[in-house]
Chain A
Amino acid sequence: MNPGRMASAMSADGDNEGMDQPRATAEDVRPWDRAVVTYPLFALIALVGGLFPSFGLTANLLVIGIGGTMFWLGISGRAGRRAAPQGVPRGAAWWLLPVLLFASTELFAFSKHSIEDYPTLSLLADPFLEHYTAKAASYFVWLVAFWGLVRR
């Protein structure tokens, strides 16, 4: 949703009640900012990205270029944003469970410095990502999630 339009919508009633997670209306969506446009584009990037081997120059350039563009769009707000919840969302502590479990496991494995006995997630994922289909699919998920974050 256009930030300006969002601001005017929020101020019209003097508060943001009911605006916790507004959906963009058809008139707010830019022509290029539709799933029918962005998803095929992400799929194309993922199909190309899956071809490049790790540690290669092309793989680095693609991730840095795409990630840099997404990062810039997210910081500048040019892709539009949805209104954020006011205050801590109720029940937010539930999300600490997987986050802390993952983080503590990763840190513990990393601190052991033993690739064989205590592998980190990236080490476990390496054999999986050596397959083109898995890597391209993971690339696509990364891009879709990145796009979701950019517009938050």
Chain B
Amino acid sequence: MSKAIIITLFSLAGIAFLVLAYLSRREPSRVPSLGSMSAFVMEYRVGKVPVGRIAVLGFWWWAGWHFFAR
């Protein structure tokens, strides 16, 4: 039962993600694209250190390693 709930919650998150991605591509849209959101987060800096860029790229690198190499 608990496993089914977890799978349902992950599925709902995935569906919400896809719906927002679709809505963001319509013209005009009140939802920014995922690319715009990524760019906005990646612009975050602390001094000269591109913290947002390091965090996003590092997370995606880790995600690839986590799913494909371990």
Residues on A facing B (Cβ under 8 Å) = 20-21, 49, 52, 54-56, 59-60, 62-64, 66-68, 70-71, 74-75, 82-85, 88-92, 94-95, 97-98, 101-102, 105, 108-109, 114, 116-119, 121-122, 124-125, 129, 135, 138-139, 142, 145-146, 148-150, 152
**Chain A residues near B54 (CB-CB < 8 A):** 75
A-B complex: 8 closest residue pairs judged by Cβ atoms: A89-B32, A67-B61, A102-B13, A98-B16, A84-B39, A98-B17, A105-B9, A101-B13
Do A55 and B70 touch across chains, with their CB atoms under 8 A apart? yes
Q: In the complex, what residues of A have CB within 8 A of residue B10's CB? A: 102, 105, 121, 124
CA distance A60 to B69 in the complex (A): 5
Question: B60 contacts which of A82, A108, A139, A145 (Cβ < 8 Å)?
Answer: A145
> A21-B33, A84-B39 given. 13 additional CB < 8 A pairs?
A54-B69, A63-B65, A63-B68, A64-B65, A74-B57, A89-B36, A95-B37, A98-B20, A105-B13, A118-B3, A138-B68, A139-B68, A146-B57
CB nearest neighbor in B for A57:
B69
Chain B count of residues within 8 A CB distance of the other chain: 42
Q: Tell me what chain A mostly uses at the interface: helix, strand, loop, or mixed.
A: helix
B47 sits at the interface (CB 8 A)? no
Cα of A121 to Cα of B14 in the assembled complex, Å: 11
In the complex, chain B residues whose CB is within 8 Å of the CB of A145: 60
Q: What are 16 A-B contacts defined by CB distance under 8 Å?
A: A21-B35, A63-B61, A63-B65, A71-B57, A85-B40, A89-B40, A90-B30, A91-B32, A95-B37, A102-B13, A117-B2, A118-B2, A124-B6, A125-B67, A142-B64, A146-B61
- Asked if B66 lies at the interface with its beta carbon under 8 angstroms from chain A, I say yes
